Chain A
C-alpha cells in the first residue's frame, strides 16, 4: 500500500476504479437528481419529501443500514496546460492574483466532479440534491502550475451521525502525475449533511457530532454572537451564483436564480459556499504562502444579491489567519474558517 491509498474511515482499503476523464458536472447533476428521486422513492413516505430540504424520516425506522460504496474513483493524466483561460476567469472572479499557479479553490473545482461522481453512484446511500455542505478542509502542499499533469482521486468516507441527520466526508486528492507515490499535493475533505437520515449512534459518533458545525436552522439566535470589526465587505450581485457556476461547473439550481432557488425552498438564490470560502482565501492574500491548510465551516446561506461583512484576522499566536463572514445588518454568521501556512 502506498501512502495516501484511499481507505474508509475504518481504514479499510478501497477498490480503485479508474475513469478515462474527469466527468462533466452537468451530466452528473442529471444523474444525481435521478438518484435523489430514486432514494426518495425508496425511503420516503409518499408526499413527504421535498427535494432540496432533505427528507423526513418519520416512520422510516425500518430502513436498511446506510453504507458507503467501497470504491475510489481515479482519473490519471489530467492535463492542465490548456486551462489558462478557465483558470484566469476563476482567479478574476475570486479576486485571486492572475497567475499560472492553481489556487487551492481551483483544485477543488477540478476535483469536485469526481467527488460528485461518487455521490451519484447507484450505491451511494444519500441523495445528491438537498445535501447541505457543512464544511471543507483543504491542504495544499505546494505549487500546482499550468502544465502539470495531474492524478485525481475521490471517495466517500466517514459516514456518521449528525443531530439533524447523517454526515459524510467526500475526500478528493490531487497528485502530480510525475510523483504518483508522493503525498497528494492537494487534499480536500468536503463534509455534507443529509438531513433526515439515521445512523445508529455510538459514543464516538456523539463526540464527533458535537464538533460538527450546526446548520443554519440550528444556529443560536443572532445577538449571542457579536460581530468583530470587519476588514472587508463583499457586495455580491444577483449573478454571483451564475458566475461561479460558470467557472466551477457547479450549476446547482439553488445558486442560479431566485426562481430556481425557490423551487428548493430558498427565498432567493444563494451563493456557493466554496465561492465564499475561496473569496476569504483570496482575501488572506500573499501571507498564506505556497502551502497552506484552508478550512471553512458554513453556518447559514448567503442570499443573493447580498452584502457580506468579512473579518480576516491574523492569528495573534501563529502565522495563520482566521476569517468569518456575516450579514452586517443582522449580525448573522454565514461562514468561518482558517487559513494556516504549512
Chain B
C-alpha cells in the first residue's frame, strides 16, 4: 500500500506497534475526551414511520435512550450540543428544549449548532474540546433531522404581505397588504437542498465530481451493495443493540435492504447527472445515493474521571479533528471533497498515516463520494496540486472501510449522521482493541453541503 508518511515524522515505532496518537500542538494540560457510548433511533426513510415526528421529539427520544443506557437520570451534564439542518424557526432552542423534555437534570445547559451534514460530528468535536480544556466534565453531542416534518416556508410575496399586515394598524392597511399577494405567491416553498450559490442540488454536484473523476456505475453499485450487506450483518450480530433505541415502533433502519444485489442495483435508473454532456449514461441512482431520511443520534462524551466515577464504560478517545472547506462555487473542487483536504492535515498533525487506521468511516453521502475521496488520495497529481503533498496520501484498505455499513444503507438524516458514525467508530475500536490487545484507531470523514468537511481520529483507550 502506497502510503505517504507525514513529513514531520511518524509516530509508529520500529516494532510496528502504533504509539498513542496525540496532537503535539495541543497545549500542555489538555486531557482526554472519551466516548462513553451512543444512542440513536433507527433511521427511517422520509414519510414513513416518523412522518409526523418532529426534530424535537426525535432528538428527545434519542436522548432518553442514552439516558436510560447509562443511567443519567437527573444528571447535570456539562453541555448538550447538537442541531438540525432543516429547522423550524420555532426550534431556535431545539437542543435545550429536548433536554428539558428528557430525564436529564433541567439544569443541563445546551446549545444548537449547525454545520450541514457535519453537524453531528462538529457537535462532538465541540463537546470534546470543552472536555479537553476542562470546561466541562461530560457532554452529549448529537443531531436530528426530519425531511418529513421539514419547515415549509411561504413565498417571498406572501411573507412580505404577512409581515406588512402584521405591522398594519388598520383593517384597511391590512387588506391593502394582502391585496399585493398574487396567486402564485400562495404556493408553499419546501426546503431545497440546493446549494444557494450554484442552484445545483448536492446530487448534481456529486454527479459533476463523479464525471470528473470517471467513477463507474459498477464501482458505485458495489459500494452500495457492501453498505447494505455490512449494515444488515451488523444488525444481525447485535452490533446496534447498545447503540440504537427503537422509536415509534421502528426497530431497525428501514432503508436497509438486506436482500439487495448487484442485479437489483443495476436495474435502477440514474437520477443525477442526467443533464451532463458526459458520461453519456449517468451513473448515480437512487441505489447508490442516500435517500432522504428522518432520525436522530446522540453520543456521550466525558472526561475519563467523570466516566470512572460513575462506573461508565469508555469505548475510545476522540483524539483530534480537522475541518476543511473547498472552493466548489466555480467548480475548482467538488462540493463534497472537503474531507479529502482535511484528512492529510489531520494525519500530519498527529503523525499518522492511512496505514495506521484499523477502520475508516467515510460517510456515504453518495457511493461516488467515497470513491472520489479514495481516488483523490491515490492520485499523485491531485495530491500535489490540491493537497500540497509530495506523494499520494495513499490507499484505504477497502476491508477496513465502513465495515458495519454506512449512510447508503442506514440512511442519512443530515445532522444525525455524525453521531451514528462516531458511536459506531468508538465501538469498533473498543472491540478491536479488546480482541487484539493493541490500540485500535478509526478515521472519520464526513462531507457536508457548502463544500464543508469534518474529520476526526478516534482511538481505543
A interface vs B, CB < 8 Å?
226-235, 238-239, 283-285, 287, 307, 309, 311-314, 321, 328-329, 331
CB distance from A227 to the nearest CB of B (A): 4
Q: Which of A226, A311, A328 has a CB less than 8 Å from the CB of B275?
A: A328
- Residue on A with the closest CB to B200? A233
Complex A-B, nearest 9 residue pairs according to Cβ-Cβ distance, in ascending order = A328-B275, A232-B198, A231-B331, A227-B277, A233-B199, A229-B208, A233-B200, A226-B277, A312-B330
Number of chain B residues close to chain A: CB under 8 A: 19
Does the CB pair B331–A229 fall under 8 Å?
yes
A191 to B212, CA, bound (A): 36
Supposing A226-B277, A227-B277, A229-B212 touch, asked if A313 and B200 sit within 8 A by C-beta, the answer is no
Q: Which of B198, B212, B278, B330 has a CB less than 8 Å from the CB of A314?
A: B330
Does the CB pair B199–A229 fall under 8 Å?
no
Does the CB pair B330–A231 fall under 8 Å?
yes
| Other A-B pairs beyond A229-B211, A230-B204, A314-B330, 6, CB < 8 Å | A227-B276, A230-B331, A231-B208, A234-B199, A307-B275, A331-B277
A239 to B157, CA, bound (A): 12
Chain A residues within 8 Å of B332, by CB: 314
A201 to B252, CA, bound (A): 77
Sample of 19 A–B contacts (CB below 8 Å): A226-B278, A227-B277, A229-B331, A230-B200, A230-B204, A230-B275, A231-B200, A232-B198, A232-B199, A232-B329, A233-B199, A238-B184, A283-B197, A283-B329, A283-B330, A285-B197, A287-B330, A321-B330, A331-B277
Chain B residues within 8 Å of A312, by CB: 329-331
CB distance from A228 to the nearest CB of B (A): 8
A228 to B329, CA, bound (A): 15
B interface vs A, CB < 8 Å?
184, 194, 197-200, 204, 208, 211-212, 275-278, 328-332
Supposing A239-B184, A321-B330 touch, asked if A231 and B198 sit within 8 A by C-beta, the answer is yes
Does the CB pair A232–B275 fall under 8 Å?
no
A227 to B278, CA, bound (A): 8
CB distance from B59 to the nearest CB of A (A): 32
Chain A residues within 8 Å of B211, by CB: 229
A342 to B199, CA, bound (A): 28
Does the CB pair A230–B330 fall under 8 Å?
no
CB distance from A326 to the nearest CB of B (A): 9
CB distance from B14 to the nearest CB of A (A): 46
Q: Is the interface of B mostly helix, strand, loop or mixed?
A: loop
CB distance from A122 to the nearest CB of B (A): 39
- Residue on B with the closest CB to A284? B330
Chain A residues within 8 Å of B276, by CB: 227, 229-230, 328
A283 to B200, CA, bound (A): 13
Does the CB pair B275–A285 fall under 8 Å?
no
- Residue on B with the closest CB to A226? B277
A230 to B197, CA, bound (A): 13
A201 to B331, CA, bound (A): 44
Does the CB pair B197–A232 fall under 8 Å?
yes
Chain A residues within 8 Å of B197, by CB: 232, 283, 285
A313 to B198, CA, bound (A): 13
A314 to B208, CA, bound (A): 17
Does the CB pair A309–B329 fall under 8 Å?
no
Does the CB pair B329–A230 fall under 8 Å?
no
Chain B residues within 8 Å of A234, by CB: 199
- Residue on A with the closest CB to B156? A92
CB distance from A333 to the nearest CB of B (A): 12
A230 to B328, CA, bound (A): 11
Does the CB pair A233–B198 fall under 8 Å?
yes
- Residue on A with the closest CB to B201? A233
A130 to B78, CA, bound (A): 70
- Residue on A with the closest CB to B273? A229
In this complex, the member of A231, A287, A309, A313 whose beta carbon has the largest number of chain B beta carbons within 10 angstroms is: A231
A233 to B211, CA, bound (A): 16
Q: Which of B204, B278, B328, B330 has a CB less than 8 Å from the CB of A313?
A: B330
A313 to B211, CA, bound (A): 17
Q: Which of A228, A232, A314 has a CB less than 8 Å from the CB of B200?
A: A232
Chain B residues within 8 Å of A309, by CB: 275
Chain A residues within 8 Å of B329, by CB: 231-232, 283, 285, 312
A230 to B198, CA, bound (A): 9
A287 to B329, CA, bound (A): 11
A232 to B199, CA, bound (A): 6
Q: Which of B184, B194, B208 has a CB less than 8 Å from the CB of A230?
A: B208
A231 to B212, CA, bound (A): 12
A226 to B162, CA, bound (A): 47
- Residue on B with the closest CB to A227? B277
In this complex, the member of A227, A229, A309 whose beta carbon has the largest number of chain B beta carbons within 10 angstroms is: A229
A227 to B329, CA, bound (A): 18
Does the CB pair B275–A313 fall under 8 Å?
no
A321 to B329, CA, bound (A): 12
Does the CB pair A235–B199 fall under 8 Å?
yes
Chain B residues within 8 Å of A235, by CB: 199
- Residue on B with the closest CB to A286? B329
- Residue on A with the closest CB to B335? A231
Chain A residues within 8 Å of B208, by CB: 229-231
A329 to B208, CA, bound (A): 15
A229 to B333, CA, bound (A): 12
CB distance from A54 to the nearest CB of B (A): 32
Does the CB pair B275–A329 fall under 8 Å?
yes
A284 to B332, CA, bound (A): 12
A326 to B275, CA, bound (A): 10
Chain B residues within 8 Å of A228, by CB: 277
Chain A residues within 8 Å of B330, by CB: 231, 283-284, 287, 312-314, 321
Chain A residues within 8 Å of B184, by CB: 238-239
In this complex, the member of B184, B199, B329, B332 whose beta carbon has the largest number of chain A beta carbons within 10 angstroms is: B199
CB distance from A289 to the nearest CB of B (A): 15
Chain A residues within 8 Å of B212, by CB: 229
CB distance from B334 to the nearest CB of A (A): 10
- Residue on B with the closest CB to A234? B199
- Residue on B with the closest CB to A282? B197
- Residue on A with the closest CB to B331? A231
In this complex, the member of A233, A234, A313 whose beta carbon has the largest number of chain B beta carbons within 10 angstroms is: A233
CB distance from A221 to the nearest CB of B (A): 15
Chain A residues within 8 Å of B277, by CB: 226-228, 331
CB distance from B216 to the nearest CB of A (A): 17
Chain B residues within 8 Å of A331, by CB: 277
- Residue on A with the closest CB to B209? A229
- Residue on A with the closest CB to B199? A233
CB distance from B79 to the nearest CB of A (A): 35
- Residue on B with the closest CB to A327? B275
A56 to B119, CA, bound (A): 63
CB distance from A69 to the nearest CB of B (A): 41
CB distance from A144 to the nearest CB of B (A): 25
Chain A residues within 8 Å of B199, by CB: 232-235
Chain A residues within 8 Å of B198, by CB: 231-233, 283
A328 to B212, CA, bound (A): 17
- Residue on B with the closest CB to A328? B275
- Residue on A with the closest CB to B204? A233
CB distance from B335 to the nearest CB of A (A): 10
CB distance from A246 to the nearest CB of B (A): 12
